[in-house]
Amino acid sequence: MSLRACQFTRFNRAASCLLFLTGLFCGERARSSDVLQLRSEDELIAVLRSGAAEQQALACKELAIRGGPRSCPELAKLLADVQLASWARIALEAIPHPAADAALRESVSKLDGQLAVGVINSIGKRRDRGAVALLAVCLDYDDPDADVASAAAIALGRIATPAAMSALRSALATASDRVLPAVADGYLLCADHHLKSAEYAQAIQIYDEVRATSVPLPQQLAATYGAILSRQEAGVPLLLEQLHASDQQFFRLGLLLIREINSPRVTPALLEDLASFSGDRAALILLAISERNESGVPEQVFAAARSGDLRTRGAAIDFIGLRGDQQHLDALLEIAAEGDAELNQRSLAAIARLPGEPIDQLLISEISAAQGPNLLNLIDAMGRRRTNATAELCQFLESADASIRSATLQALGESVSAGELNVLIRAVTSPRSPEDAELASHSLIVAASRMADPDACAAEIAAALVPAPPAAKVRLMQALSAVGGQKALEAIAGAMQESEELQDAGSRLLGEWMSVEAAPVLLAQVTAATNNKYQVRALRGYIRLARQFDMSAEERAEMCRRALELANRPEEQALVLAILTRYPDPEMLKIAVSAKSNPTIRKAAEQAIEQIVAALGRTPEVIAIVSGVEQTQK
């Protein structure tokens, strides 16, 4: 929504919502009664004269479709009824006949307060030119009828005839403080009408008149917005004035207009003046220019990226990332190597956004001769871009410099293809140092998580699991957990049989598994584990799956039943009972009732039964489940 659209409706939004809700209430009653089944206008008019309120409301709704001039006098009588006024206005607004206009006009002098406001709003919606003189009189109202005057101002703005504009122009100089904002809004609606009709001179005149008046800030902003937009190219000096304004709201208005004015003069003018800005303002202006529907990187932006205020440089670098190409690569690499951490990261991020395969080829061609910070930046950039250069990167895995090996492992994690996963698997199983092992493990997880075929990926990692050293086995199991799927589950379950260390690692990974397919493996671990710690961990993982993941009611009930049978500690038993109350159904109720036979959790089971019964209702089936099991127990 434009700034202008946000301004003109604020004064009567509360009144409109109140009337709408009143009408909605009447409408619901009318629909629920299902009494009125009339189709002719005469029958509907008869209901307006003698029907109940809910029938009258429904008749108004029907007359919005079927009404004609004969309905208008009867509808006008309801405009003084607080409950039915909004329904009558809906009908009068829709009837395409001058009689509806006449009925609304005649009602204005008979009403006051919000009822009068509603009728004036309807006149505005119908753009009744014949009501201009009447509305002009209403503009002179003041306390306690300032709302009526404000509504009249908006209605005149919607009508937007020369006479309506003249009335608003006069009121702009004489209106009270309470009415002035609405008068300005109405007058600005007239300007918007001219702008939409490409009558720019008339629009500019009105916008400038409002700007020259002491109207509140929202109207000042709206008038300035329109004055610049209607001038287009000629509005650039006024746009620059807003960008230099001390008030931040006018500055933000300028930023908005940078993006909206469709003129080739905007960007050159802004860049010519760029040196007069600094810090956040210069950065925000560059961001706004970068989002215009233009291409290329102007020389001023390129120069701003290479020297000057750090915030301005950062914004210029971002600009190059959005609209640059291969000719800017070397400059970005030079900036990245300067030593400033923020500029380094922004330059590398910009390189990552540069479009096209030529950028990747340039990075590959430069990496063989690069050294020091430049080499690190090239490796980082290739990883960010996911440049397919595994062969070129692998040479640096043997570097004596730990920082180069670290950057290479990270880049490979982002860039290796499915057929090259073995590079990272070898880095995990045969690392140069413990630190490299940790980095390689993380990179393998990153790479494995993005592979298109999880089962094939899991099979390759699982094949390396058997001959791997013990420490590497744990890291490979972590990668399998990131991949997920049945093959990964089977590989982890098999590795857990080898040692207590792997059982420990595997039980942790299975306990955090992100799909219900881990349930059988966890259940097997509960029954097979010799260490109580691992049994508890596996059981808790099993319970977590039953609590968190989608499955059929029968499957969940069976899991809860099995978990309760295997749980020998109150802590896990309580977790199962919580699942029963979270997914209440008859099967869950049966499990809860059966749990009462365990004295340790009898009280908790009774509370679960109460909650499930409350959720299901005391139906015959529910009563039978509770009483039947209790009798069996007795």
Q: Where are the alpha helices (DSSP H) in 9-145?
A: 13-33, 41-50, 53-66, 72-77, 85-94, 98-108, 113-126, 132-138
* DSSP classification of residue 369: T
Q: What's the distance, CA 237 to chain centroid? A: 36
Q: Residues with Cβ < 8 Å from 598, sequence gap 6 or more?
A: 573, 605
**Does 537 lie in the same domain as 568?**
no
pLDDT at 318: 96
Q: d(Cα 72, Cα 352) in Å, to the nearest integer?
A: 67
Is residue 142 over pLDDT 90?
no
17 or 599, greater pLDDT: 599
Return the percentage of the chain with pLDDT > 70, whole number.
92
Q: Does 263 fall in a domain?
A: no
Is residue 531 over pLDDT 80?
no
**Does 617 lie in the same domain as 581?**
yes
Nearest to 302 by CA among 337, 344, 339, 330: 330
Angle between helices 486-495 and 519-528 (to 10 degrees): 10
pLDDT at 22: 39
pLDDT at 38: 57
Lowest mean pLDDT among 85-99, 329-343, 618-632: 618-632
- CB 260 within 8 Å of CB 239: no
DSSP letters for 381-406: HHHHHT---HHHHHGGGG-S-HHHHH
**Does 634 lie in the same domain as 555?**
yes
Q: Residue type for 454, please?
A: P
For the stretch 279-309, pLDDT in tens is 899 999 999 999 999 999 999 999 999 998 9
Angle between helices 41-50 and 53-66 (to 10 degrees): 150
> Residue 112, SS3?
coil
**Does 634 lie in the same domain as 556?**
yes
pLDDT at 446: 96
Q: d(Cα 262, Cα 244) in Å, to the nearest integer?
A: 21
List the structure tokens of 289: 């220019």
The dihedrals phi and psi of 111, each to the nearest 5 degrees, come to -120, 165
The CA distances from residue 209 to 418, 459, 527, 582, 627, in Å, are: 67, 75, 85, 65, 83
Which residues constitute the domain of residue 525?
496-550
**Does 572 lie in the same domain as 534?**
no
**Does 569 lie in the same domain as 613?**
yes
User: How many separate domains does the chain show?
Assistant: 2
Q: Does 592 fall in a domain?
A: yes
How sure is the predictor about 9, in pLDDT bands with cuts at 50, 70 and 90?
Answer: very low
Q: d(Cα 603, Cα 580) in Å, to the nearest integer?
A: 15
Give the CA radius of gyration of the chain: 37
User: Is residue 260 packed enough to be buried (19+ CB in 10 Å), middle (13-18) or exposed (0-12)?
Assistant: middle
For the stretch 124-141, pLDDT in tens is 999 999 999 999 999 887
pLDDT at 143: 60
Is residue 26 over pLDDT 80?
no
> Residue 165, SS3?
helix
**Does 591 lie in the same domain as 528?**
no
Q: Does 376 fall in a domain?
A: no
Q: Is the peptide bond before 144 cis (omega within 30 degrees of 0)?
A: yes
Work out the average pLDDT over 530-543. 88
List the structure tokens of 427: 């880095």
pLDDT at 144: 67
pLDDT at 534: 87
Alpha-carbon torsion, ordered 601, 603, 605, 607, to 10 deg:
-150
pLDDT at 312: 94
- 442's enclosing H/E stretch is helix 434-449
Tell which of 510, 535, 550 closes a domain. 550
Tell which of 519, 550, 581 closes a domain. 550
- State the chain's maximal CA–CA distance in angstroms: 97
For the stretch 150-173, pLDDT in tens is 999 999 999 999 999 999 999 999
Give me the sign of the Cα torsion angle 409, 410, 415, 416.
positive
For the stretch 471-528, pLDDT in tens is 899 999 999 999 999 999 999 999 998 998 998 999 999 999 999 999 999 999 888 8
Tell which of 504, 525, 550 closes a domain. 550
pLDDT at 140: 81
Is residue 572 over pLDDT 60?
yes
Return the percentage of the chain with pLDDT > 90, whole number.
83
Q: Residue type for 53, please?
A: A
Is residue 430 over pLDDT 90?
yes
Q: How many residues does the chain have?
A: 634
The CA distances from residue 505 to 424, 441, 543, in Å, are: 21, 14, 19
Q: Does 628 fall in a domain?
A: yes
DSSP letters for 203-237: HHHHHHHHHTS---HHHHHHHHHHHHHHHGGGGHH
Question: Rounded to two decimals, what is the model's pTM?
Answer: 0.76
Q: d(Cα 86, Cα 100) in Å, to the nearest integer?
A: 14
552 or 631, greater pLDDT: 552
Is residue 464 over pLDDT 70?
yes
**Does 502 lie in the same domain as 555?**
no
DSSP letters for 516-540: GGGHHHHHHHHHH-SSHHHHHHHHH
Is residue 371 over pLDDT 70?
yes
List the structure tokens of 330: 């070397």
For the stretch 167-190, pLDDT in tens is 999 999 999 999 999 999 999 999
Q: Where are the alpha helices (DSSP H) in 232-340?
A: 236-243, 248-260, 266-272, 279-290, 299-306, 310-323, 329-336
Q: d(Cα 472, Cα 430) in Å, to the nearest integer?
A: 8
**Does 545 lie in the same domain as 572?**
no
The pLDDT mean for the chain works out to 90
**Does 600 lie in the same domain as 620?**
yes
For the stretch 350-369, pLDDT in tens is 999 999 899 999 999 999 88
**Does 570 lie in the same domain as 608?**
yes
The CA distances from residue 472 to 404, 427, 434, in Å, are: 22, 10, 10
Nearest to 506 by CA among 483, 485, 522: 522
- CB 611 within 8 Å of CB 584: yes
Is residue 458 over pLDDT 60?
yes
Q: Does 129 fall in a domain?
A: no
Q: d(Cα 259, Cα 3) in Å, to the nearest integer?
A: 14
Q: Does 507 fall in a domain?
A: yes
Is residue 262 over pLDDT 80?
yes
Q: Does 230 fall in a domain?
A: no
Work out the average pLDDT over 203-212. 97
List the structure tokens of 176: 């009270």
- CB 85 within 8 Å of CB 78: yes
pLDDT at 627: 87
Q: Does 606 fall in a domain?
A: yes
Q: What angle do CA 144, 148, 154 make, to 5 degrees?
A: 145
